[in-house]
Amino acid sequence: MENAPIRVLVVEDFAPFRKFIRSMLEKEPSLRIVGEASDGLEAVRKAEELQPDLILLDLGLPTLNGIEVARRVLPLSPQSKILFVSQESSADIVQEVLRCGALGYVVKTHAGSELLAAVEAVCQGRQFVSVGLSGVRFAVTPDRQGRREEAALSLVPGKAQITRNHEVQFSPDDASLLSGFTRFIEAALMAGNPAIVVATESRRNSLFERLQARGLNVAAAIEQRSYIPLDVDDTLSTFMVNGLPDPVRFRKVADDLLVAAKGNRPRVAACGECAPTLWARGNADAAIRLEHLWDEVARTYDVDILCGYVLKSAQREQESSTYQRICAEHSVAHS
């Protein structure tokens, strides 16, 4: 983001999430929000009037959907780069989005951790696609100016339509772990999706305070079953047998929890420390087996999973085999 200021138009019809995007962008001094729009026709008009450097564009908009907005805007404001920030995670939709001339796509539930990186990449002319879309591959097609670059997505043969979003975050301390969980939960709630957290009492209390400080009404979200905090030991007791997770019991617990939380909403976000707790207690085999079971869930449901480990560098070196096996059970590892 060297050529400041980058002038940004934010197009999002859900006011709380639009506010969330604004709060993220305002942290970066080289970005300047020059306008907002809440429907498709308004977005086209403002893009033509403002000629922004960057347009953050939702997919599901009133009057015109985001793809049609992009198609109309690019001839009117050819220098504008477009980054979609949307709830949808279908590879077919992402393929169409990139084919219409956009440079990036961020799934809303990942906006807390990915948005600024995506903005930076797109502003530099590089493509950015959410890590949650790891079940797709790039295909080379001409962009709107005739250059050939990676600008479309296609399905990998044999891949299921469910996007596998099973990430792991390794943090050096509690504060870093809580920051990652807070961003993850906030992004889900602001996108209108339920969030489940499985953690110790102290971390649940800290998350409550952090989310409240960020302007979220956590008590109301708990009452509405949009935010579901669970105790890690109570949860483990429902499926652990003789020191190992029982696959049948685990799947019933996970199925019941996710189906109840999802309702008629597009996705569910779940973060926690069940497997990390097992590893911290010296039961590495159980932790790896549990991560494998969660990975099977991620391949079945429209769910975004974030596992959080507090891991010192010394432990990572001493137990490198366990560390590598845990990483292998995830779609993405953050350190």
List, for residues 229-268, the tens digit of each pLDDT value: 999 999 999 999 999 999 999 999 998 899 888 887 888 9
What the chain holds in terms of domains, given with CATH numbers, is 6-155 (3.40.50.2300), 165-334 (3.40.50.300)
Q: According to the model, what pLDDT value does residue 156 have? A: 30
Within 8 A by CB and 6+ apart from 328, the residues are none
Interior/surface letters 175-201, b for 16+ CB within 10 angstroms, e for the rest = eebbebbbbbbbbbbbbebbbbbbbee
Q: Tell me the three-class secondary structure of 211-259, residue by residue.
A: HHHCCCCHHHHHHCCCEEEEEHHHHHHCCEECCEECHHHHHHHHHHHHH
Among 26-40, 80-94, 195-209, which stretch is predicted with the lowest mean pLDDT? 80-94
Which residues have a Cβ under 8 Å from the Cβ of 276 and sit 6 or more positions away? 287, 307, 308, 309, 310
The continuous run of DSSP H or E covering 325 comes out as helix 320-328
Statement: residue 144 has pLDDT above 50: no
Q: For residue 290, what are the CA distances in angstroms to 251, 267, 279, 318, 329? A: 11, 22, 10, 21, 10
pLDDT at 132: 60
Where residue 159 falls among pLDDT bands split at 50, 70, 90? very low
Mean pLDDT, range 159-171, rounded to an integer: 73
Roughly what angle, to the nearest 10 degrees, separates helices 284-298 and 247-262? 40
Buried b or exposed e, range 217-243, using 16+ CB within 10 angstroms: ebeebeeeebbbbbebeebbebbbeee
pLDDT at 329 over 60: yes
The 8-class DSSP code of residue 110 comes to: G
- Select the highest-mean-pLDDT range: 21-25, 270-274, 308-312: 270-274
| Most confident among 1-10, 17-26, 209-218 (mean pLDDT) | 209-218
**Mean pLDDT confidence for 69-85:** 94
Residue 285 pLDDT greater than 90, yes or no: yes
Here the tokens at position 218 are 């956590």
Per-residue pLDDT tens digits for 115-137: 998 999 999 888 888 876 644 44
User: Among the ranges 46-50, 92-96, 317-321, 326-330, which has the highest mean pLDDT value?
Assistant: 46-50
Structure tokens at 332: 């993405």
Q: Give the strand order in the sheet containing 81-86.
A: 31-37, 6-11, 54-57, 81-86, 104-107, 128-129
pLDDT score recorded for residue 334? 83
Is the pLDDT reported for residue 42 higher than 80?
yes
Contacts of 74 by beta carbon, 8 Å cutoff, 6+ apart: 80, 82, 100, 101, 144
Confidence band of 92 (pLDDT split at 50, 70, 90)? confident
**Residue 111 pLDDT exceeds 90:** no
Instruction: Look at residue 319 and tell me whether its pLDDT is greater than 70.
Output: yes
pLDDT interval class at 163 (50, 70, 90):
low
Going by pLDDT thresholds of 50, 70 and 90, the confidence category of residue 151 is very low
- SS3 (DSSP) at 170: strand
What is the pLDDT of the chain when averaged over all its residues?
85
Mean pLDDT of 93-105: 87
**pLDDT of 4:** 65
